[in-house]
Amino acid sequence: MADGGQESLAAFRDEIADWIDRNAPADVRGRDFDESDICWGGRNFVFKSEGQKLWMDRCSARGLTAPRWDTAYGGAGFTRAQEKVWLEELARLRVKKPLESFGLWMLGPALLAFGTEEQKRHYLPQITRGEIRWCQGYSEPGAGSDLASVQTFGADKGDHWLVNGQKIWTSYADKADWIFALVRTDREAAKHKGISFLLVDMTTPGISTRPIRLISGKSPFCETFFDDVVIPKDQIVGEVNRGWDVAKHLLTHEREMIGGGGSGAIGARSIGSVLADGDITDPHTVARAQKLEIDSLAFGLTMERYRDLAKQGGVGHASAMLKYYGTELNKDRYELLMTAGGSDALAWDGKYGALAPEWLRTKANSIEGGTSEVMLDILSKRVLELPGE
C-alpha cells in the first residue's frame, strides 16, 4: 500500500475499512472504553476472549500491530498519513486496537534508533506478534525524578554482567516476560556517563518481584529485585556506559504516549457520556465542561502538529510540553467526569463502571514517565533557556 496523493489515500481508506470490517471479531467491537479490554500480549497474558486473540493474530500477520514499523521487523511499513487513516477507521468502526504494550510504545522506537540489525530482527517481531511483553526498569527508590542517579550495579565479568540492585514502580513487572533496565556499569564516571541499557529475561535466576497496591485498588506495579543476575554481554542496546542516550530517546516516546491521553482521543471516556443526562445545569460545571472541550480539541491538534514537526526533523525538548499539558488536561477531564457523575460516580464499580478507579489512576499520569515539575523544568531550561538557580 503505497502512499500517494489524496486519491490513493481515499482508496487506502476504503481498503483498510473493508479489511477491518471483514476481520474484526465481535468480541473487539462496540462498547465504550474499558481498561480491561486492552490486549497486552505476552506469555502470561490471559486473553479476555477468543476474539481478542484472533484479532491480535490477524492484525500482526499483516503488520498492523505496529503499522509504521518496517515489514522486516513485523510492521506494515505505513506512512504517518496511512497510520492515521488506520486509527481513524478503527475508531469509526468502534473496533479496539489489536495490541498495546511497552514494547510497541517504548522499547521498539529505542531499538529502531539504537539497536543493531540483529537485535531489531530478533526483538521487534516478538513485540509485534504479542509474544513478549516488556516492562520498564528505570526508577529506583533513590532515583525517581533524578533518574540518572540509578544505583543498580552491573559488575563486568568478561562475557557477562553480574547485576545487583532494586527497581521500583515497575509497571506490570509480575506479568512481563522481559525488562529493559538502566544499570550502572561505571561508578567512577559522571552519573549520566556510567549507565548501560540492558535487556533482561525476567525468568533469569535472581530476579524477583513484589507487587505494590495502588490507590485505585489495583496492583499493576512492583518492586523488582536483582540478586546476582547474570546478563550476557550482547543484551545491551547502544554502547556500554552510553545507555543514558537510549534512555532519553525512549522517554520522549513514553512521554508523548502518556501525554496523548489529554486529547481524549484514544478511546477515552468523553465528557458527554457522563454529562449527557441534562441534570447538570450549574454554570460552574457547564463552564468547566466547555473549557475542557476546547482545550482537548486544541491539544489534539497540537499532538498532530508536533507529529508533523517531528517528521521534519524533530521537536526536541518541546515534547516535554505534550507530556505536561496532556496529562494535566487528562486529570482535569477526570475531575470533571467525577463532578458530573456526582454520587453515581463515587463507587468503585457503579453506574459508570470503573470511572472512580480510572479517575484515581489518572493522578499518576503527571508522575509516571517524568513528573509535571520535571517537564516544566526541561521546558524552562532547555527550550526557554532560562538560567538555573
Partner 1 sequence: MTALIPTEDEVMLRDAARAFCEAAGVANLRAVRDAGKPYDADLWAEMVAMGWAGVLVGEDEGGSDMGFAAANVLAEEMGRSLIASPFLSSAVIAATALRRAGRSAAAIADGTATYALALDETRKFAPEATAMEARALGNGFVLTGSKAFVAEGTSASRLLVLARAEAGLTLFDIDAESAGLSRDRLALVDSRDHAALRFEGVEATGDDVVGEVGGGLVALGPALRAGQATISAELLGLSVGAFAMTTGYLKERKQFGRVIGSFQALQHRAAHLFSEIEVTASAIAHAGRMLDADPDNADLAVSLAKARASETAGLAVREGVQMHGGIGMTDEYDIGFYMKRARVGAEWLGDYGYHAGRVAALKGQAAA
Ligand X SMILES: Cc1cc2nc3c(=O)[nH]c(=O)nc-3n(C[C@H](O)[C@H](O)[C@H](O)COP(=O)(O)OP(=O)(O)OC[C@H]3O[C@@H](n4cnc5c(N)ncnc54)[C@H](O)[C@@H]3O)c2cc1C
Q: Which residues carry out catalysis?
A: 254
Please count the residues of this chain forming the interface with partner 1, following the rule CB under 8 A: 48
170 binds ligand X (CB under 6 A): yes
Residues in Cβ contact with 61 at an 8 Å cutoff, skipping those fewer than 6 apart: none
Minimum gap (Å) between residue 273 Cβ and partner 1: 14
How far apart CA 175 and CA 46 sit, in angstroms, is 10
- From ligand X, partner 1, none, interface partner of 138 (C-beta below 5 to 8 A by class): ligand X
380 binds ligand X (CB under 6 A): no
The site string for ligand X over 333-372 (x = CB under 6 A, - otherwise) reads -------------------------------x--xxxxx-
Q: Which of 84, 95, 18 is nearest to 51 (CA)?
A: 95
Q: Which residues pair with 197 in a beta bridge?
A: 182, 237
18 binds ligand X (CB under 6 A): no
Residue type, 372: S
Distance set, CA 33 to CA 228, 243, 305, 355 (Å): 42, 37, 26, 10
Q: Fill in the DSSP letter of residue 240.
A: T
Cβ-based nearer residue to partner 1, 30 or 142: 142
Cβ-based nearer residue to ligand X, 169 or 306: 169
320 binds partner 1 (CB under 8 A): no
How far apart CA 198 and CA 202 sit, in angstroms, is 12
Cβ-based nearer residue to ligand X, 144 or 206: 144
- Choose the binding region for partner 1 from 7-15, 234-242, 248-256, 345-353 (rule: CB under 8 A): 345-353
Sole binder of ligand X in the list 65, 139, 196, 330 (CB under 6 A): 139
How far apart CA 191 and CA 185 sit, in angstroms, is 10
Cβ-based nearer residue to partner 1, 124 or 337: 337
- Choose the binding region for ligand X from 15-23, 132-140, 188-196, 244-252 (rule: CB under 6 A): 132-140
- Cell numbers standing for residue 67: 503499522
For the chain, the residue count is 389
What is the sign of the dihedral through the CA atoms of 57, 257, 109 and 212? negative
Residues in Cβ contact with 275 at an 8 Å cutoff, skipping those fewer than 6 apart: 289, 340
* Helix H or strand E encompassing 50: helix 50-61
H helices of 260-318, in order, are 271-275, 283-311
Minimum gap (Å) between residue 279 Cβ and partner 1: 6
How far apart CA 347 and CA 224 sit, in angstroms, is 32
189 binds partner 1 (CB under 8 A): no
Q: Are 197 and 219 in contact (CB under 8 A)?
A: no
Cβ-based nearer residue to partner 1, 92 or 348: 348
Q: What's the distance, CA 382 to chain centroid?
A: 24
Cβ neighbours around 226 below 10 Å, total? 24
Cβ-based nearer residue to partner 1, 169 or 180: 169
Q: Which of 197, 301, 304, 324 is nearest to 255 (CA)?
A: 324
Q: Which of 389, 262, 386 is nearest to 324 (CA)?
A: 262
Q: Which of 193, 203, 196 is nearest to 152 (CA)?
A: 196
Q: Fill in the DSSP letter of residue 159.
A: S
Minimum gap (Å) between residue 109 Cβ and partner 1: 24
Collapse the DSSP code of 158 into the 3-class scheme (helix H, G, I; strand E, B; otherwise coil) and give the result.
coil
190 binds partner 1 (CB under 8 A): no
Sole binder of partner 1 in the list 87, 318, 339, 379 (CB under 8 A): 339
383 binds partner 1 (CB under 8 A): no
The site string for partner 1 over 17-46 (x = CB under 8 A, - otherwise) reads ------------------------------
Sole binder of partner 1 in the list 318, 346, 379, 383 (CB under 8 A): 346
The site string for ligand X over 189-228 (x = CB under 6 A, - otherwise) reads --------------------------------x-------
Which residues form the interface with ligand X (CB under 6 A)? 135-139, 144-145, 169-171, 221, 364, 367-371, 373-374, 377
Which residues form the interface with partner 1 (CB under 8 A)? 139, 142, 144-146, 149, 168-169, 212-215, 217, 279-280, 282-285, 331, 335, 338-339, 341-351, 356, 359-360, 363-364, 366-368, 371-373, 376-377, 389
